[in-house]
């Protein structure tokens, strides 16, 4: 007989029959044997991360991918019809900002349990499991934030294989479990959490701490244990597999059609173009627009890489004059961004029109952009800057989009680039914004200022590379401010520009820390810039993190 069991506990789905919970509860109490999971038959194994709104959700997905297992981060209420084709092998429930006992708190849908696939709930995800399966969660008397020692009480648990019996973990929670659901037991504890890790014999686990953050020692091992030992994944998400799958897909999709791709000089558009070229050869045309806002030697470098190394024909457009004409007299940052973005589209449209009939437009969109644009539909986000991506041309252009990197993180794009034999200097190039040097010149952009900034930026970059720090930094660059100050050189008075050095470390540009560059390196950059670049007589170092500052100055 089916009846509703605690259906109020299933968010936004009052009418869902939760008879499964009854079945599952019997299994958990040992009243009937544990059902076999319904394993998918497809080739690509996937771990599904359900997003309950944690700031670390994307990090969980990255950690899984680092284990060479494909993973998708989806909203917590994604229906089973969308999940099933992905061939899930297990679920991870993320943390989240609310409490499970708050009214309207988001909760997993029944298929999480119905599928009998392994589940690992992290922080809020753990509370959701306890709440739904018959345990009890209350507001904690003591909140736990930061480092704490975890002590393993069940050393035979596969989740802990290869781990020491005590390890530092990162906690961040205010709620606490006072009663476990039937069939669950404690697997590890901490000073303030008697239920720091719990588990059932049907492969459902809950972790009070965050294994995804770097502060949790052995966090990667916990993911590996869950993914390989508990979910039984093989780890076949490799660059080589990705490349062959993508090439097949692109061939099928494009058929006899033609594709156009805008190159920026960065790794994303380069990898996207190379993959497509491998699939369809000369049916791909790449366009490289020189806006006049690029760094020193950048246009030649991009052309050489594509023409010589990859034997790809590239349409080169020098649009410097057009861009600089548009930027005359403009100093407001958003206005600069808007003008450059629009001009870029105009030039691209004109060039594409000369190529005859083209059906597809290739873009180097990455997974974080996809996730962000999905969540932007539901979250009211305040616009900080209007980003212009060289590949990010508007959909209204009447092309069908091809986005071969849309499910990859930046580090995965680099791995794919290496497997495609792209030159290392292109793969490890630091990100460079679409609007280029225009947003690193404060105030009006002129040819003279561009030359000054290029010369200074070249010195900065050479010194950073010489010091062996280029790859460790997310970005390092020079900014030409519109501040002028007085200096003395020899016996002369100077009145020159103030240049700022910006160098940051970051994982994804959402947050960034200013890099602690060695003082002698800063001194060398400063000495060289003031001596070798006319018009700059003072150098400062930007020691602000993001937030509150942003990485670029405009
Ligand atoms: P902010 O300055 O917002 O930058 O902290 C975050 C990251 O994005 C890059 N950036 C851009 N990239 N088009 C791009 O393709 C843009 O309009 C743009 N604006 C900023 C920036 O260099 C940093 O990596």
Domain of 407, CATH number, reads 3.40.50.620
Domain count, the chain: 3
463 tagged catalytic: no
Q: What is the pLDDT of residues 178-235, one digit of tens each?
A: 999 999 999 999 988 899 999 998 899 999 999 998 888 899 999 999 999 999 999 9
In a shared domain, residues 335 and 218 = no
165-194 per-residue burial string, b: 16 or more CB within 10 A, e: under 16: eebebbbbbebbbeebbbbbebbbbbebbb
Q: Which of 123, 157, 261, 286 is catalytic?
A: 123
In sequence order, the 6+-apart residues with CB closer than 8 A to the CB of 245 are: 44
Ligand 1 atom closest to 392 (CA)? 15
298 tagged catalytic: no
In a shared domain, residues 493 and 529 = yes
What's the pTM value of the predicted model, to 2 decimals? 0.80
In a shared domain, residues 151 and 47 = yes
In a domain, 546, yes or no: no
Distance CA 552, CA 440 (A): 7
In a shared domain, residues 165 and 271 = no
Residue 434, ligand 1, Cβ within 6 A = yes
In a domain, 4, yes or no: no
In a shared domain, residues 130 and 38 = yes
Is there a contact between 197 and 159 (Cβ–Cβ < 8 Å)?
A: yes
Q: Which of 393, 427, 461 is the last residue of a domain?
A: 427
Output DSSP code: residue 281: G
In a shared domain, residues 258 and 281 = yes
pLDDT of residue 275: 96
In a domain, 247, yes or no: yes
Residue 550, ligand 1, Cβ within 6 A = yes
Q: Which of 131, 210, 218, 388 is catalytic?
A: 210
Q: Quick one: tokens of 412?
A: 């995965």
Q: Which of 372, 397, 427 is the last residue of a domain?
A: 427
In a shared domain, residues 209 and 257 = no
In a shared domain, residues 355 and 302 = yes
Distance CA 461, CA 221 (A): 37
Atom 18 of ligand 1, nearest CA residue? 433
Residue by residue, DSSP assigns 118-183 as -EEEETHHHHHHHHHTT-EEEEEEEEEEEEEEEEES-TT-GGGTT--SEEEEEEEEEEEEEEPPTT
In a shared domain, residues 404 and 313 = yes
Distance CA 53, CA 75 (A): 8
Angle at 224 between CA 222 and CA 227, to 5 degrees: 110
Give how far Cα 154 sits from Cα of 89, 133, 151, 183, 333, Å: 24, 22, 9, 15, 58
Is there a contact between 113 and 119 (Cβ–Cβ < 8 Å)?
A: yes
In a domain, 9, yes or no: no
- Residue 458 binned pLDDT confidence (cut-offs 50, 70, 90): very high
Write the CATH number for 149. 3.40.50.880
| Cis peptide upstream of residue 547 (ω within 30 degrees of 0) | yes
Whether 143 shows a pLDDT value over 90: the answer reads: no
In a shared domain, residues 282 and 366 = yes
How much of the chain, in percent, has pLDDT values that exceed 90? 72
In a shared domain, residues 183 and 291 = no
Cβ–Cβ contacts within 10 Å for residue 441, how many? Answer: 25
355-385 per-residue burial string, b: 16 or more CB within 10 A, e: under 16: eeebbbbbbbbbbbbbbeeebeeeeeeeeee
Residue 511, ligand 1, Cβ within 6 A = no
Is there a contact between 89 and 46 (Cβ–Cβ < 8 Å)?
A: yes
In a shared domain, residues 454 and 423 = no
Q: Which of 427, 451, 486 is the last residue of a domain?
A: 427
Residue 346, ligand 1, Cβ within 6 A = no
Find the domain containing 104 and state its range: 18-230
- Mean pLDDT for 52-56 is 89
């Amino acid at each position: 007989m089916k009846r509703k069991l605690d259906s109020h506990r299933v968010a936004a789905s009052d009418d869902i029959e939760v008879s499964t919970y009854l079945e599952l509860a019997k299994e958990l109490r040992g009243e009937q044997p544990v059902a076999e999971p319904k394993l998918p038959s497809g080739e690509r194994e996937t771990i599904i991360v359900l997003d309950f709104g944690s700031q670390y959700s994307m990090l969980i997905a990255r950690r899984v991918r680092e284990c060479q297992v494909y993973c998708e981060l989806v909203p917590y209420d994604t229906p089973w019809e969308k999940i099933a084709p992905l061939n899930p092998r297990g679920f991870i429930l993320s943390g989240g900002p609310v409490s499970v006992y708050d009214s309207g708190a988001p909760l997993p849908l029944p298929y999480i349990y119905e599928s009998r696939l392994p589940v690992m709930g992290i922080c809020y995800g753990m509370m959701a499991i306890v709440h739904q399966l018959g345990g009890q969660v209350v507001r904690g008397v003591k909140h736990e934030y930061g480092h704490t020692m975890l002590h393993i009480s069940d050393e035979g648990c596969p989740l802990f294989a290869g781990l020491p019996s005590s390890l530092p973990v990162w906690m961040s929670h205010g709620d606490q479990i006072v009663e476990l659901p039937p069939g669950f037991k404690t697997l590890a504890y901490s000073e303030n959490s008697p239920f720091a890790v719990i588990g059932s014999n049907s492969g459902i686990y809950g972790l009070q701490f965050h294994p995804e953050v770097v502060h949790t020692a052995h966090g990667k091992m916990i993911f590996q244990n869950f993914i390989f030992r508990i979910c039984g994944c093989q780890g076949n998400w490799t660059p080589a597999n990705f490349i062959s799958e993508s090439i097949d897909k692109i061939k099928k999709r494009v058929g006899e059609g033609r594709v156009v791709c805008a190159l920026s000089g960065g790794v994303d558009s380069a990898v996207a173009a190379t993959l497509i070229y491998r699939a369809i050869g000369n049916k791909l045309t790449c366009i490289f627009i020189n806006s006049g806002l690029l760094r020193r030697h950048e246009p030649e470098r991009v052309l050489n890489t594509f023409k010589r190394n990859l034997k790809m024909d590239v349409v080169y457009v020098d649009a410097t004059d057009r861009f600089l004409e548009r930027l005359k007299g403009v100093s407001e940052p958003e206005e600069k961004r808007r003008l450059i973005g629009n001009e870029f589209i105009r030039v691209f449209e004109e060039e594409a029109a000369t190529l005859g009939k083209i059906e597809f437009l290739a873009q180097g969109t990455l997974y974080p952009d996809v996730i962000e644009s999905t969540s932007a539909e539901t979250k009211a986000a305040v616009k900080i800057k209007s980003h212009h991506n060289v590949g990010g041309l508007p959909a209204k252009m009447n092309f069908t989009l091809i986005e071969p990197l849309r499910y990859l993180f930046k580090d995965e794009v680099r791995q794919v680039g290496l497997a495609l034999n792209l030159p290392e200097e292109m793969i490890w190039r630091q990100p460079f914004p679409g609007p280029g040097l225009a947003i690193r010149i404060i105030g009006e952009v002129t040819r003279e200022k561009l030359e000054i900034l290029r010369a200074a930026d070249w010195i900065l970059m050479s010194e950073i590379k010489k010091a062996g720090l280029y790859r460790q930094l997310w970005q390092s660059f020079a900014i030409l401010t519109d501040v002028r100050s007085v200096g003395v050189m020899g016996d002369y008075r100077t009145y020159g520009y103030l240049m700022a050095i910006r160098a940051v470390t970051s994982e994804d540009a959402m947050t960034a820390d200013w890099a602690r560059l060695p003082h002698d390196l800063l001194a060398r950059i400063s000495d060289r810039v003031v001596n070798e670049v006319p018009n700059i007589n003072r150098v400062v170092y930007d020691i602000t993190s993001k937030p509150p500052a942003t990485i670029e100055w405009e």
